[in-house]
Structures are given as C-alpha cells and as structure tokens.
Amino acid sequence: MKETLILAICQHGFERRFTLLGRLAALLTLTFASIWPSAVVAQEVVNVYSARHYDTDMALYEEFTRQTGIEVNLIEGGSDALIERIVNEGEFTQADMLITVDAGRLWRASEKAIFQSVASELLNQRVPANLKDPDGLWFGLSKRVRAIAYNKAAGVPIDVARYEDLANPALTGSVCMRSSSNIYNLSLMSSIIEAAGEAAAEAWASGVVKNFGRAPQGNDTAQLRAVASGECGITVANTYYLGRLIGSADPKDNAITDALTVVFPNQDDRGAHVNISGAGVTRYAPNKDNAIKFLEYLTSDFAQKLFAEGNNEYPIVGATSGPVASLGDFTEDTINAAVLGERQAEAVRVFDRAGWQ
C-alpha cells in the first residue's frame, strides 16, 4: 500500500519506522506546507496533531487514505504541548485536527479557542450527547471507566459499591491512590462535585486521605500491582490499564488481574465515571473539509473497533471487544463530559483543602 502516513516528530521523542521514501516524503511535504500552505490543500491531506501513540491508530489512518485518497500527516506529542503549539502557531498553524485523551484536556483546548464548531449530521447521530461538546467543538471517540479494584483473597470489610465507600473509616490504611494532580483523578473529582456539591466532595476526599495506606505515588498500573501484592487493599484505576494486563502475554501481568475483584461503581445511582479520548477540528484548519471527513470516519464501525482496541478502551459506537469485554457490562454516568473540564479548578481546590497530595 502506498505510504499514507507522514510523520513529523519535532521535539517529543516519539518515533515510528518508515521507509526511506516515506521519511523523504514527510520532509518534503512539511517543508512545502510551511512555504506554500495551499500545496497541502492541493495534495488532499489532513494534518493531525495527536496525543495518542498506539500502533493500531496507524491502521486507522491507512484505511482512511485507502477509502478517500486523503493522506494523513501526523505529528505526535504530549497533550499540553500540542495544545500550546497550536496556540502559538495561531492562524499560521498547519494543524487541521487535535486528538487527545481526557475530557478535561479537550475542555482546556476549547478554552484556548483552538477548535471551531462542526455541524455534522453523522457525528450528531453517532456520538452520544454526553460525550461531545455542546457547541460541537470536540467529539468523544472512545471511552474508559474509572473502576474500583480490591484484593480478591483479602476481600474488604464493607460492601464497596460506590466511589463514596472509599471514604468509609472501615478502609483505614488500605487505600492506595495516585496523585491528585493527575488528570484522571481531577476528572473523577469534577464528576463527584457535579453530583454531590463541593462540600460533600471535600468531605469524601478528606475521608479517602485518612484511609491512605501510603502517600499517593505511581500510575494506575502501580496501584493495581500494589493491591494485587497485598501492599494495599483497594484502589481506583482506568479500565484500559486492566485491559492491558488482561491481554498481556506476560503471565505476571495476568496474575495481577487474577488477584483482583473489579467493581463498576455507583451502578444503583448515577453510574460509573466515564472519560474519553476525543478530537476537534482546529480553528484555522487549512483542510477543514478533509478534517471533518476524517472525524466522521473515526466514528465508523471499523474505526471504532480499532480505536478502542488499540488502548483497551470502550467504543462510543458498537459492541465492546478486546480484553475489557471480560470485565462485563456497566451503567455509566451521563453528565456531559465538558463538565469534567468546567469543574477542574474546583477539583484542584477541593483536593488541596483535603490534603490529597
């Protein structure tokens, strides 16, 4: 298949392997784009800035080119760095689309006015209302759930069915969590503030802090390992971390999830907290029509399957597949994902007052 992806890695150290011809094509295209922006339009391309770094995403892009003839120029980096880059490039940016993870980051990007509103009947039909910006600035593409996990052999002294149960004094000394500054915890806190109010959210956070078995540290996988080993009794983690361990070829990883009981919280009330990967068309997109076509394509059944399975996430459209399917079904919180960003400043203040590092 003709090379359909042109990769530009400017300062973030991410690398992909391409043929010599592909590397030369990338250099020439980006050079021409910087001198003659109209050349990009003439070549039928879409320039994507992405904070996702998964091999299966490459297959998505190749299939889009096969179907449409539109080539995908890809620039990868961290979410915050890409957002700032687009801001700094302003009206001269070559970015047509930003793809990033977490609704809070999508909200940050929209607050910096880097997106433009997209009116698409197809996107409105396929993307649930709670997983897209109310003004059409960005759209969710895949989901992950923040689930509770506890040590199966040791059990827990109470029936843990809600996030709120993590503050129960019966769990003193058994809770392990990652830092409050982590975007996933900020989004979870934002959802709790939305559901219960700031005062109740602070009381919950203070109770969880009192139950810490150790100071916050590590990522979600580190929490799961600690619970499986018995260092801690209970934690929360995004389901895609569980999916990676379940689907791993390493028996040591499989042993971690075998040692855990996973709970989808709040199934009898608001539902489990859900976050997203998502994308939006940039404000000054030089290839706006192509970007909208690409965004619509990312909600197709083919794209949804690969988009979700590439990081063990849940699709926004269609049936769940891959390792996370073994975790079972769940009811999700249906607050609009934009709230996770809108409440972010409050979430920071609540965590600080509660002493959650």
Predicted TM-score (pTM) of this structure? 0.84
CA angle 13, 17, 22 (to 5 degrees): 110
The pLDDT score that the predictor gives to residue 55 is 77
Instruction: Count CB-CB contacts under 10 A for residue 294.
Output: 25
Instruction: Enumerate residues 6+ apart whose C-beta is below 8 A from 134.
Output: 336, 338
**What is the H or E stretch that residue 274 is in?**
strand 274-281
> In Å, how far from its chain's centre is CA 76?
15
> In Å, how far from its chain's centre is CA 224?
19
Torsion sign (Cα): 34, 38, 44, 47: positive
Backbone angles phi, psi at 269, to 5 degrees: -135, -105
Are 29 and 6 in contact by the 8 Å Cβ rule? The answer is: yes
The one-character DSSP state at 325 is: G
**What is the H or E stretch that residue 188 is in?**
helix 183-196
> CA–CA distance from 357 to each of 181, 225, 227, 231 (Å)?
8, 20, 20, 19
Tens digit of each residue's pLDDT (9 = 90 or more) over 246-296: 999 999 999 999 999 999 999 999 999 999 999 999 999 999 999 999 999
Structure tokens at 353: 């007052």
In order of their start, the domains of the chain are 5-142+276-324 (3.40.190.10), 144-273+327-354 (3.40.190.10)
Backbone angles phi, psi at 230, to 5 degrees: 95, 0
Tens digit of each residue's pLDDT (9 = 90 or more) over 310-344: 889 999 999 999 999 999 999 999 999 999 999 99
Report the distance separating Cα 182 and Cα 184, nearest Å: 6
The pLDDT score that the predictor gives to residue 46 is 98
Low-confidence ranges of the chain (pLDDT < 70): 1-42
